[in-house]
């Protein structure tokens, strides 16, 4: 539909969205760049993401603007410092190897659900900080978060939410049950982590949130931590799983690209790997 509108109306046009008013759609890269680099006092991304508030909460970085956005952003930056991310790489590699070892050989299978399982497991370990030795806790969180994520991506669940609008969505029983279950588990985990004596020694994102402080020295509230954990989950799970799925699909469909990638990696180089990741396909320039 959007491509058809672009063909008919040009690189800038408007559409009306239920409960959202009028949206201005941009297709020209330069115009899009102006928005993303424009004055945040004018371009309110949080206001534009209002529909996410019932899912992520009012403290989510994605629904905040101006001073509140910057304040929350500063709290979340330390866990994603370059050195921290390098530390997560080993954990991600171990999880990926275990996942790949479970895939069948010589038999077609659906890749996207496996990538979803992979990215969720990485989030549970690096963001929530739940270890492999905590089997029951892992199973409970994995099940509840999987149901929550399905609700945010499955049209069968998503359409009623969109039709109800952000102010009435809590009244939908299927939505309410899933949110309440996720909240119960997250608040329980936050409470357990606050009581733990090793928070300062841990490097998962949840532990660093518990140790974070606002400019006035006050800690993040349980509600803030809950909202930001769900934000990282929603923002980092499905997009990554989809990108990985398409990257593998492209590499398998173009075996000469896959062979080039293997050869360069065997030779100790990573330029083509970087290009493959950045373009999300094996046909990188």
Q: Where are the alpha helices (H) located in 11-134, listed in sequence order?
A: 29-36, 45-48, 53-56, 66-76, 82-101, 111-126
- Banded model confidence at residue 60, pLDDT cuts 50, 70, 90: very high
Average pLDDT over residues 82-98: 88
What pLDDT band is residue 280 in, cutting at 50, 70 and 90? low
Instruction: Give pLDDT tens digits for 142-183.
Output: 999 999 888 877 777 777 777 777 777 777 887 888 899 999
pLDDT value, residue 235: 87
Average pLDDT of 119-132?
A: 92
Q: What is the mean pLDDT of residues 259-267?
A: 95
Is residue 71 within 8 Å of residue 214, measured between CB atoms?
Answer: yes
Residue 284: pLDDT over 50: no
Query: From CA 76, how far away is CA 208, in angstroms rounded?
Result: 9
Reported as a single tens digit per residue, the pLDDT across 173-217 is 878 888 999 999 999 999 999 999 889 889 899 999 999 999 899
Are 202 and 221 in contact by the 8 Å Cβ rule? The answer is no
Domain ranges of the chain: 78-230
CB neighbours of residue 161 within 10 Å: 19
Most confident of 14-18, 84-88, 101-105, 161-165: 101-105
């Amino acid at each position: 539909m959007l491509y058809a509108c672009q063909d008919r109306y040009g690189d800038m046009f408007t559409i009306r969205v239920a409960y959202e008013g009028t949206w201005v759609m941009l297709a020209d890269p330069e115009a899009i760049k102006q928005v993303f680099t424009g004055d945040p006092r004018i371009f309110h991304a949080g206001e534009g993401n209002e529909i996410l508030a019932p899912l992520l909460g009012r403290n989510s970085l994605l629904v905040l603007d101006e001073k509140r956005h910057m304040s929350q952003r500063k709290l979340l930056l330390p866990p994603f410092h370059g050195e921290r991310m390098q530390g997560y790489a080993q954990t991600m590699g171990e999880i990926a190897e275990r996942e790949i070892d479970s895939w069948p050989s010589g038999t077609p299978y659906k890749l996207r659900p496996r990538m979803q399982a992979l990215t969720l497991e990485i989030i549970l370990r690096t963001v929530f900080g739940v270890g492999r030795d905590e089997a029951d806790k892992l199973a409970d969180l994995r099940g509840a978060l999987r149901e929550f994520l399905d609700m945010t991506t499955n049209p069968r669940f998503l359409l009623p939410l969109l039709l109800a609008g952000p102010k009435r969505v809590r009244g939908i029983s299927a939505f309410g049950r899933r949110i309440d279950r996720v909240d119960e588990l997250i608040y329980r985990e936050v409470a357990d982590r606050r009581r733990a004596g090793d928070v300062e020694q841990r490097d998962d994102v949840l532990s660093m949130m518990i140790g974070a402080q606002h400019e006035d020295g006050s800690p993040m509230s349980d509600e803030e931590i809950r909202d930001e954990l769900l934000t990282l989950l929603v923002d980092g799970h499905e997009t990554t799983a989809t990108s990985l799925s398409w990257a593998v699909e492209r590499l398998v469909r173009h075996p000469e690209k896959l062979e080039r990638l293997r050869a360069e990696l065997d030779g100790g180089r990573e330029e083509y790997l970087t290009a493959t990741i950045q373009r999300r396909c094996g046909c990188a320039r």
